[in-house]
Structure 1
Amino acid sequence: MNQPKYLYKSEEFLRTFEFTSEGNRGRIRKMVQYTDTGTENIYNLAFGDYDEETQEINDLSITNNGDSLKVLATVASTIYAFTEKYPEAWIFATGSTAVRTRLYRMGITNNLAEICKDFKVFGLTVSENSWEQFIIGDDYEAFLITRLENT
């Protein structure tokens, strides 16, 4: 995504990324995590505010920090870093709510031409419960993303 991004830090395996959102509600610690799904080369993308109390991602928090495009661009940049280290990876992503899944779909739609230079994107159709190559305007429950070399 050709948008401003936050700088992030990661551990050596590039499975967990952290950055700080800075906006009208202050500085909020964010985390992106890629976890094994149990299916070879398929990883779940988890994203949200870092909960200091539980030391886990809270993917239900609503930050409203006024920087959603910058935050989504930062999450997208972690996909580039993760798939650079794990080029065979397929990334599964869905929102923790229908509204968030729609937000992700809109982000993909608005940046599809740029994304498709490096990635293949699939959507899980609501009506047929099957995967198809991402089509602008279609409604999806989840997304699969992989580097072009893997398709």
Structure 2
Amino acid sequence: MNYPRYDYSAGNELNIFEFESIGNKGKIKKIVQYTEMSIKGYFNLGFGDLDLKTREINDEIITNNGDGQKVLATVVSTLYSFTGKNPDAYVYATGSSESRTRLYRMGITNNLEELKKDFFVFGLRNDNVFESFIVGEDYLGFLVTRKK
């Protein structure tokens, strides 16, 4: 994605990334975390505000800091870093609400051709079957894997 993005810090394993959103509500710490799921090689992409007390993700806060495109570009940048280190990984993402999932779908739609240069992109249908991402379809979640 050819959008401005934030610099981030990453753990040695490149599975936790932190950055600051800077916008009309000030500086807000964000975190992106890739957690292996029950199926080996499949990872959940967790994203949200960093709770400074628990150091965990709060993915239910609506920040509206005015920098959504830059935040999304930063999250996608972490996907490149994570799959660069884990090229066989399958990464699953869904929103914490229907509106967030719709927001992610719009982000994928708007950048699909560029994403498809480096990733296979799938959508999870209502019948729990993954299909190649189709613009205009509603999905429960999304799955990507790096092209080799």
Deviations 1:62-104 (A, max 9, x none): 1110000000000000000000000000001000010000000
1:14 alignment counterpart: 14
> Which blocks of at least 5 consecutive residues in structure 1 are unaligned?
none
Matches within 5 A, 1:77-88: 77-88=77-88
Matches within 5 A, 1:2-151: 2-126=2-126, 128-149=127-148
Deviations 1:31-67 (A, max 9, x none): 0000010211100000000011222100001111000
The residue identity in structure 2 corresponding to 1:6 is Y
Aligned residue pairs total: 148
Determine helix, strand or coil for the equivalent of 2:80. helix
Q: Distance in 2 between matches of 1:133 and 1:88?
A: 18
User: TM-score under structure 1 normalisation?
Assistant: 0.96
**C-alpha distance 107-89 of structure 1, shift in aligned 2 (>3 A):** same
The residue identity in structure 1 corresponding to 2:59 is D
Q: Distance in 2 between matches of 1:89 and 1:21?
A: 27
Determine helix, strand or coil for the equivalent of 2:4. coil
Determine helix, strand or coil for the equivalent of 1:117. helix
> Which blocks of at least 5 consecutive residues in structure 2 are unaligned?
none
Q: How many angstroms does 1:129 deviate by? A: 2.4
Q: Distance in 2 between matches of 1:38 and 1:124?
A: 17
Q: How many angstroms does 1:132 deviate by? A: 0.3
Q: Distance in 1 between matches of 2:8 and 2:73?
A: 12
Q: Distance in 2 between matches of 1:40 and 1:91?
A: 11
User: TM-score under structure 2 normalisation?
Assistant: 0.98
User: RMSD value over aligned CA atoms?
Assistant: 0.7
Determine helix, strand or coil for the equivalent of 1:120. strand
Q: Which stretches of structure 1, 4 residues or longer, exceed 2 Å deviation after superposition?
A: none
Q: Distance in 1 between matches of 2:73 and 2:9?
A: 15
